[in-house]
Structure formats: C-alpha cells, structure tokens
Structure 1
Amino acid sequence: MGHPSMPLTYTYTRSHMDKRRSSRLQKSAPNDNVSNALGAIRVLGIELIEDELRPHLNTVLTTIKEKKKGAAEQVAISGILPILALCLRSKGALTLVTAKLVSELAKESVVRKGFAEAGLVSALLFVLTGADQELLFHAARAISRMSYNSLKQQEQLLRQGAVPRLIAVLLRFPNNEALEEVCLLALCNLSDMGEAEEAGMIWERGVSVRPEEMVFHGVSPQTCGFSSSVTLVRVSQWAPGQYAVSIEVFQRCSSSFWNCHANKRAAGWFPLSGLGGCSNLYKLIKYSARNVPRKRSLKTRVFHTLL
C-alpha cells in the first residue's frame, strides 16, 4: 500500500546559514577591504604614519593588480591621490610601495585623469631625479602608462619636463636594461608613437657612427605575422647639456608576405583571406600596391631638450 505524497520541505541548519553568510561576505569582501583601506589612508596619510599606512597601501595595490571590479572607481573618488603624491615626495619608506601603486593606477583611465590636479604628475617627475633604480623604474612606467594614447596627458608631461628627466635616467644608468626599456617606451608614448605594453616590444642598442649619440631599436611583432613595427630612437648631444631626441617608426613587411604577393600577383589574385584580424591590413595593401621597399618611415618626432 502506497504512502500518501508529502510536500517537499527544506530545513536550514546553522551550518547552511553560516555557509550562505560566508559566501555573501566573500563576495563583498574585496570592495569592503578597499573601502576600509582607502578610509585609513585618508586618515593616516595626513601625518604619514609609515607603519600603519603600509598595509593599507598594499591592500589597494593588490586589489588594483587583480583588477577587482569597481576598485579603480573607488580609488578615483576616494580623495587619496594627493596623499599618494605626498608619499612619493617624502623619500621615506612608503615611497616605493606608493610608486608601485601609482604605476598600476596609471593604467586606469578613470583614475589617471586626476593625476595632474592631485600633484602626482609633478611628484613622479620629482622621483625621476633620484638614484634608486627600482623606484625610477616604477615612476617611468607610470609616466609611460599614463601618456599612452592620451594627448592630454602627453601635453601635461611634456610641459612639466618629462623628456629631459627620462633622458637623464638613460644617461645615468646605461647598464640597467629594464629601466632603459621602460624609459624608451615612455619617450615613445610621449611622442604619441608608442606601442601598448601587451605588444611585447623588444629593445636593443644599435651601433652609432656619430660620437655622443645613443641608438636604440624596438621591434614589435604584429599579430597577423606579416609585418612588424620598428621604432628607432636616437639620443644625440649637440652641445654641452643639450640633446636632441628623434623617434621614428617604420613598418617592415616580412619576406614571406612579399614572396606570397609576388607569386600571386601574376595570376591577378591578392591573398586577402586569413588577414581579417590584422590591424595593419590597409597599410600592407597600400604599400604592396605601390611596390615600396620593405622598410619605410611612417612617423617622425624630434624633441630638443636641456639637461
């Protein structure tokens, strides 16, 4: 004999409730942690209490590096940017972690647009006059990131003397390859001819036939595989303490592209299939149609600067 059907019921024990509460806390914890850290930085930053400030700066740094949703927006409206500028200028134990944080924040457009008003632009340039190479690296990276593809930021940095400070760093530390590369990328970005960090540009020193000149070549392979962007940076001294910096960008097509095009041209067919994702497709077609050589200058920018 069958038993009558019984309605389904759910019993929530304390363990179930604890799990649900824990889940909610885990979802809200990142933003709560950032809010708490930002609040602490606002309060403690006035007196620059290093031991108490450092963990809060590290919390914000970690959250920004992990790209937590909404974290950049929280920083933008928090009011801590002037405090970060003060930390950079303090030359204390907080300067390095602050430089790392500012470098990460420079990637966030919602944050970096407030850099100038908060005094962070001048603070970063002040840091570039120091001798700590790790600190110089993060300051130069921040300048590179904030000036990439941003005419307004480029103008602000150029007006405040970013170029001579970057050149001075190149001259002072010629054996630090990482610092050299980030300074070169910053110069290219300031000239509005830079590549994104993700492009994976590889730099190497060239040989100069002129005295008092440094030559650098940067190569950035394109995703389509048929061309590469080549950047040439020359730093030339033309008088004591006076330098000219020229930046040129070339588009170089691989031999495989030209061979492929030459073989197909006789048949009246151009191999367009498979190139749809190539950002330089139009340039490749235009140069090929004109039968230009494999190297051709695209853009040139020259800075004259006093050190």
Structure 2
Amino acid sequence: MGHPNVPLSYKQARAHRDKRASSRLQLYTANENLNYALGAIRVLGVELVEDELKPHLNTVLANIKERQKGAAEQVVISGILPILALSLRSRGPLTLLTAKLVAELAKESVVRKGFGDAGLVTALLSVLTSSNEELLIYAAKTISHMSYDNPKQQELLLRRGAAPRLVAILLRFPDKQALEEVCLLALCNLSGMGVAEEAGMVWERGASVRPGECVFHGVAARTCGFASSATLLRVSQWGPGQYAVSIEDFQRCSSSFWNLHRNKRAHHWFPFFSLGSCSNMFKVMNFSTRNVPRTKSLKTRVFHTFL
C-alpha cells in the first residue's frame, strides 16, 4: 500500500492539470456564449422578433438552469430585465419562454432584487390574469421563488395584489392540479411560511363544511418518518366578490411518536387530522379582496393583511 504523502506521478499530475484546463475552457466558452446572448437580447429586445431572440433566450435559460458560475451576475450587469418585463406584457410568441426564464432567474437573489425597478413585478401580476395555464404556472412559480423567506418581496407582492390574483386562479381552474399546487405554494410563501419547492409538498382538496369555501390540505414529509409539516389552507367567500384566505402551518406527528412525547409538551388536536399535531409551528394569514380579477382589465387591491 502506498504512503498517502507520496507525490503524484508525472502522468497523474499531467492528467489532473489537463482536467482543470478543460474545465476552465468550458467555463470560458459558456461565459462567452452567455455574454453574446445577453448582448444580442439587449440590442434586439425592443423589437421582440421571435426568430432572432428565441435562441438567445434559450442560451440564457440553459446557463441559469445549470447554475453556471457567474451567470446570474452577468444577467444583472447586462440590463436585460426591463426587456423581459416588456416581453411578458406583450403576450406575444416569446412570452412563455420569457416566463420560464424569469421563473429560473427568481431563484437567484442577486437577480430578483432588481425585479421591482425593472417592471417585472407589475408584468408578472398582469400575466396572472392570462388564460394560458402553462404561462400561469411559471408566473406563480416566480412569485413563490421571489417571496420565499423574503419579507420585503412578500410585502411588495401583497401590496401590489398578488394574493387575490392567485386566489382567482384557484377559483377559475378548480381541476388543474399542477396549476393549483404552484398557486397554493405561492400563497404559503407570501404568508411568510417559507415552503421550498424542493420540499415536495403534496396537496389535495378537502371537504368544505361551509358554502362558498374551498379547503386544501398540504403535507411535506420529514426525515425518519416521525413527523411532517402539515398545512391547511382555506378560501372562503364572505360576500359577492369578497374572499378571505387563512393558512395554518403546524407539525404533524405519527401516533407512536406522539404517544412517546405527549407527556413532555402541550399540544392541540385538529379535527381534520387523524394523527396527533404538535403546535410548535402555527401561522395564519387573512386578507379580503373585492372584484377578484378574471381579465387583465380589472384592478384589485388587498384591503388588509394580517401576518
């Protein structure tokens, strides 16, 4: 057995150097391609010509999805965010691709800081009144990423009316599971619960006990099978065009785990769950809205929000 401190052979050292050089070359090539694409978007963006812009948008999307080193910073420096906002508002052939790109960019904190100044927030909110389900999915994902553990973005989006638009989508598309799930996740993040997309929250509709009420149950599994994060979200109609949303988040424990610890801590029981519930996590968001938008010409606002 060789000694761990024995130096690498000449061939091993050369192979190691070649591998590092190849990685640097690949990174350099990717950065060059990204820079060229960003420059082309900046020059051609005002015209929004699909054939010319589409390959460049795809190049930027691929770099951001692969988390290419420095890609997010290059996007910020390039100044293309206002062009992306213009593409979203245009509702043209590039809008869906732009929405996919913006959803990925929203995962990068260095990029999403500039969304407000670039007009992307208002553009996203206008997209939420679209009838295109795939477009709505990416817009809701963007809002979810923007508001995840970010109180400033939550406040901005709530003030601009993101919550009633998300509720309107739930009411307009009651049987579209993928769309429903991203809207529910976005509402949770707007409330400050910080539910990551990777958490794998599974949602299902529950039985409502009141007229005009929609109930959603969400569960995200924890490790070891002892507990999971359980969320109960209700959308209730108070009157014509007036709705309220309440969200509760708490720990749900297995019965055996609960029996083991029930004498060590206080607890509550929730009638919906057949398992014990630990109350160490509990948050509620309530707000009411009027004239829930069904077309992009309607304007709404959040009347009051309690967090």
Q: Same fold (TM over 0.5)?
A: yes
- What aligned pairs does 1:21-100 form with structure 2 within 5 A after superposition? 25-100=25-100
Q: Which residue of 2 aligns with 1:299?
A: 283
**Aligned-pair distance for 1:23?**
6.8
Paired residue total: 266
Contact 1:185–1:194 at 8 Å: present in 2 too?
Answer: no
Structure 2-normalised TM-score?
Answer: 0.82
Q: Which residue of 2 aligns with 1:4?
A: none
- What aligned pairs does 1:32-181 form with structure 2 within 5 A after superposition? 32-181=32-181
Post-superposition, which runs of at least 4 consecutive aligned residues in structure 1 deviate over 6 A? 19-23
**Letter paired with 1:226:** F
**Letter paired with 1:299:** K
- Cα 1:250–1:47 change in 2 (3 A) is same
**Aligned-pair distance for 1:52?**
0.4
CA–CA separation in structure 1 for the residues paired with 2:126 and 2:159 = 14
- Cα 1:131–1:259 change in 2 (3 A) is same
CA–CA separation in structure 2 for the residues paired with 1:23 and 1:201 = 37
Q: Determine whether 1:290 maps to 2:266.
A: yes
> Which of the pair has more CA radius of gyration?
1
CA–CA separation in structure 2 for the residues paired with 1:290 and 1:23 = 55
Residues 42-91 of structure 1: per-residue CA shift (max 9 Å, x gap) = 00002212210000000000111111111111111110000000000111
Q: Which residue of 1 aligns with 2:235?
A: 235
- What aligned pairs does 1:1-20 form with structure 2 within 5 A after superposition? none
Structure 1-normalised TM-score?
Answer: 0.82
Structure 1: stretches of 5+ with no match in the other structure: 1-18, 266-287
CA–CA separation in structure 2 for the residues paired with 1:226 and 1:113 = 38
Q: CA RMSD in A?
A: 2.0
CA–CA separation in structure 1 for the residues paired with 2:229 and 2:22 = 51
Residues 146-190 of structure 1: per-residue CA shift (max 9 Å, x gap) = 111000000110111101111111111111100000000001100
SS in 1 for 2:76: helix
**Letter paired with 1:117:** D
Residues 178-213 of structure 1: per-residue CA shift (max 9 Å, x gap) = 000000000110010241111111000000011111
Identity fraction in percent: 70
CA–CA separation in structure 2 for the residues paired with 1:220 and 1:35 = 39
- Cα 1:43–1:291 change in 2 (3 A) is closer
SS in 1 for 2:285: strand
Q: Which residue of 1 aligns with 2:223?
A: 223
